[in-house]
Amino acid sequence: KNQVEQSPQSLIILEGKNCTLQCNYTVSPFSNLRWYKQDTGRGPVSLTIMTFSENTKSNGRYTATLDADTKQSSLHITASQLSDSASYICVVTPWSGGYNKLIFGAGTRLAVHP
């Protein structure tokens, strides 16, 4: 079973609308949780990073929340733009003394239509 589950798998919204993407994880303990945006055929770009003690982090129109008790995170996109069309990946880093192995969710594919 994947330790990081994302929902929905895909989402279509109209330009200007808001949306919320979900991430549930079982990784414990963990060092941090990140949201990445990945355009098709490109490398992931970091949007937010939160440690286990943080509840929310914003980056422009992107706001991530984290509930470490329920092991849930969400990414809220406000006033969507056509350029927001991409895959959004939730990534959890387990707490370890070793190397920085990221555990990736399968991603949510977002399509913003005019």
Which tokens hold the place of 46? 């970091």
Q: Does position 24 bind other proteins by CB under 8 A?
A: no
Q: How far is the CB of 45 from other proteins (least distance, A)?
A: 7
Closest contact distance (angstroms) between CB of 12 and other proteins is 16
* Chain residues 72-111 in contact with other proteins, contact rule CB under 8 A: 89, 93-102, 104-107, 109
For the chain, the straight-line distance linking the first and the last C-alpha, in angstroms and rounded, comes to 37
CA 51 to chain centre: 14
Return the number of the residue (45 or 79) whose C-beta is nearest other proteins: 45
